[in-house]
Amino acid sequence: MKRDPYQNGDRWKTWRGKNSKRIKGLTPVNSKLLLEFLNDMEQGMNTPLRCKGIRGPTTLLNLKDHISFFAKNINGPLIKLTKKRIHAFEKEIREGKIKKRNEQPFSAFGNYIKDFKSFWGWMVRTGKVTEDITIDLTRKTKKPSWVYLTESQFKKLANRFNPDYKALTWFMYDTGLRVTEAYSIQIKNFDKDFTELTIPEDVAKTFGRVITLKLCITLIKEFVKFHNLGPDDYLFIKKTPAFNKYLRELSKKLFGSGESKARETYDKFSLYDIRHNSSCYWLKRYQNIRGLKYRMGWRREEMATYYHEFLGLSDEIKDEDMILAEDKDKLKKMEERMDNLTKLVSMALQNKRKNPNLSFVPSKEGVIEIIDSK
């Protein structure tokens, strides 16, 4: 069963209870419209063809926050919004004329645009409007900021943790799981003496998968044994706020409060940063993007491209990389035969120097036969 480490389910229920008839801070018209939209998304009604199904609490909370932002900052009913007005509003955001509640400029307004496009698409599908005024809006955002640690830095950090945090941190670095996926893993999801992990379909954000563990096997086995965890027990017994606090404090202690290569400061290191760093680690080790995408649970290749560019990796393909696997096996066997033949010829020449009457010829089996010419 999928767990909810950030209690978004409870947060959504609380908000729904307080705003069931009208959303505070919005006009009656916009409140009614947004509540109808959220109700449909919660039930999986009037959704786009490419993405059917109910929306979970996390998505619903984001939709609520983002569409409310538009409703509060654009005068008049959203249903009467024009293409000219929405583009002018986006321009004001991009130029920093409209800021967040903390007076900071928006760094990822593309996420707001993405959700507004979803809202407006719903308006078109339900016949409330006829024109798609969002078609030219861009979801593009700045590249995310996160805490990057080199492999040696990560090892230094993880190995300073107490045994429980150490095991779970190396597990996340090994698997590259999302936080919600990691917190939903049960002991029964491990196979082959903890060398293989199954991420069930109902737990995965994108798709279920089976991955091979390489870095955390012994630590996890000891962790499970020490805590006497059974098949139905969840692996993560540490709550996310406590875990993140532990990560931040030790990261700050070891690396200070300076900015990492990914523009976020070391004292902000969190569980999700482990996934970022795991992506970098495995990118260097997988021979093809397909294998990396599967392990990380990515549907789009753009994710791998982002980390590829972040690490500054160049196109280092060599001639031998173009050889197919089966051809590589044949080439390896041929090289081994040539090595053996060279050794035999060398031995034969040494024997002939000692005894000039000896001669050697290749046999049908491809080896050297030494005969006495007398």
With 80 as the cut, is the pLDDT of residue 242 above it? yes
Predicted pLDDT of residue 320: 52
Read off the pLDDT of residues 100-147 as tens digits, 9 standing for 90 and up: 888 888 888 999 999 999 999 999 999 999 999 999 998 888 788 999
- The DSSP result for 218-283, as a single string, is HHHHHHHHHTT--TTSBS--S-HHHHHHHHHHHHHHHHTT-B-TTBSBGGG--HHHHHHHHHHHHH
| 28-54 pLDDT, tens digit each | 999 999 999 999 999 999 999 888 999
Q: Determine the distance from the C-alpha atom of residue 191 to the mean position of all C-alpha atoms in its chain, rounded to a whole number.
A: 22
CATH architecture of 151-311: Orthogonal Bundle (1.10)
Quick one: pLDDT band at residue 221, thresholds 50, 70, 90?
very high
Which helix (H) or strand (E) segment holds residue 371: the answer is strand 368-372
pLDDT at 261: 94
- pTM of the predicted model as reported, rounded to 2 decimal places: 0.76
3-state secondary structure string across 35-76: HHHHHHHHHCCCCCCCCCCCCCHHHHHHHHHHHHHHHHHCCC
3-class secondary-structure state, position 9: helix
Among the listed ranges 108-122, 196-210, 274-288, 358-372, which one has the minimum average pLDDT value? 358-372
CB-based contacts of 154: which residues, under 8 Å, 6+ apart?
A: 173, 277, 281
Average pLDDT of the chain?
89
Distance between alpha carbon 283 and the CA centroid of its chain, in Å?
Answer: 11
SS3 362: strand
Which residues make beta-bridge pairs with 359?
Answer: 371
Total residue length of the chain: 374
Instruction: pLDDT band for 317, please (50, 70, 90 cuts).
Output: very low
Number of alpha carbons in the 13 Å side-chain half-sphere of residue 84: 0
